[in-house]
Amino acid sequence: MKALVYFETLNNEIRDVSLSAIEFAKNFTNEIYGFITNLESAKKYVKKLYVLETENEFPDVIAHEISKVIENEKIEYVLFVSTNKSKEIMSYLTGIINGLMIEDIEAYESNYFIKSIYSNKVYAQFKINYEGIKILGIKPKSFKTPNELEIEGEVIKLKPSKSSSIEIIEIRPKETKEVDLTEADIVVSGGRGLGSAENYHKLLRELIDVLKEKTNLKVALGASQAVVDAGWIDHSHQVGQTGKTVSPLIYFAIGISGAIQHLAGMRTSKYIIAINKDNEAPIFKIADYGLVGDVNTIIPELTQKLKGG
């Protein structure tokens, strides 16, 4: 049995979240191959690495080249991490090879694939009885980062064998040094309970700076839909059903009541810390630690304590 892992890249580096697909693949095979664009660094994780040398990473072209590797290597499982970019490639690939696709898998136990459904309120188990190619998307940060192999894998370089049906009109890179929500170890999210956009940015960013300094972990700024709708911050920071799904080590829900749409995007976090003045807020039902009080008083005090003051 062979598995092929797609390594997603960002700024000429492998995205950390992609590596968890390697660990997931080890549940059912040791024959693990890789596919990546332009970089060879992933060879330390796989037996054989296919490198597509291309200037533009068109999803339809990448899917086409992956389909050729699947045919040549007799691959049975193709693994991605369920990011927006990878989901697009998965969709193209499923159509090309008539495969079976499951997204956002969180665990594998006794030959069952496990994922959350119904806004993360229920876990579903899937046993695949399908003879064709299985295309699986792994929920970001659901599995640990794998160890490097003692012997680096073989590298095979490819050139695109077809042109894309997509035409790029313009690329506008987003200028930001902020950590992506899906890759963060700690997410600090704020809601309308902070009172204003000024409080949201000042209080939460000060807390984030201290957490970065004290922990050396990746810390990201999140938001509820209400905050995004109010124009306090752009949609890329939204956590929830219509935003991003995160599973960090620690999730701070500050001034967030806990609407079901928000819970759908963060309830699988390892530790949830909720701070809200409403002691009946739904967020407290799933929180590991809860603090009732005015966030505009508590957050500055918490930040000061973490500083050591």
First to last CA, the chain: 57
pLDDT at 296: 94
Positive/negative CA dihedral, 20, 21, 27, 29: negative
Domain with CATH 3.40.50.1220 in the chain: 181-307
pLDDT at 169: 87
pLDDT at 309: 58
pLDDT at 272: 98
Between CA 19 and CA 66 the distance in angstroms is: 18
Q: For residue 238, what are its two tokens?
A: 């939204």
Flag the least confident range among 112-126, 187-201, 234-248, 249-263: 112-126
Which of the four pLDDT bands, split at 50, 70 and 90, describes residue 163?
very high
Mean pLDDT of 195-201: 97
Q: Which class is domain 2-158?
A: alpha beta
pLDDT, one tens digit per residue, over 38-63 is 999 999 999 999 999 998 899 999 99
Instruction: Give 239-274 as a DSSP string.
Output: BSTTSB----SEEEEES----HHHHTTTTT-SEEEE
Mean pLDDT of 270-296: 96
CB atoms within 10 A of CB 156: 13
User: Nearest-CA neighbor of 273 among 187, 198, 215, 200?
Assistant: 187
Domain with CATH 3.40.50.620 in the chain: 2-158
Whether the CB-CB separation of 21 and 138 falls below 8 Å is answered with yes
- Indicate the average pLDDT of the chain: 92
Indicate if the pLDDT at residue 144 is higher than 80: no
Residues 6+ away with beta carbon under 8 Å from 258: 274, 281, 282, 283, 284, 285, 286
Statement: 181-307 belongs to CATH 3.40.190.10 = no
Residues 6+ away with beta carbon under 8 Å from 176: none
pLDDT at 117: 83
User: Which has more pLDDT, 124 or 172?
Assistant: 124
Question: How far is CA 150 from each of CA 6, 40, 46, 217, 235, rounded to the nearest angstrom?
Answer: 21, 16, 10, 27, 42
Helical (H) or strand (E) element with 122:
strand 122-126
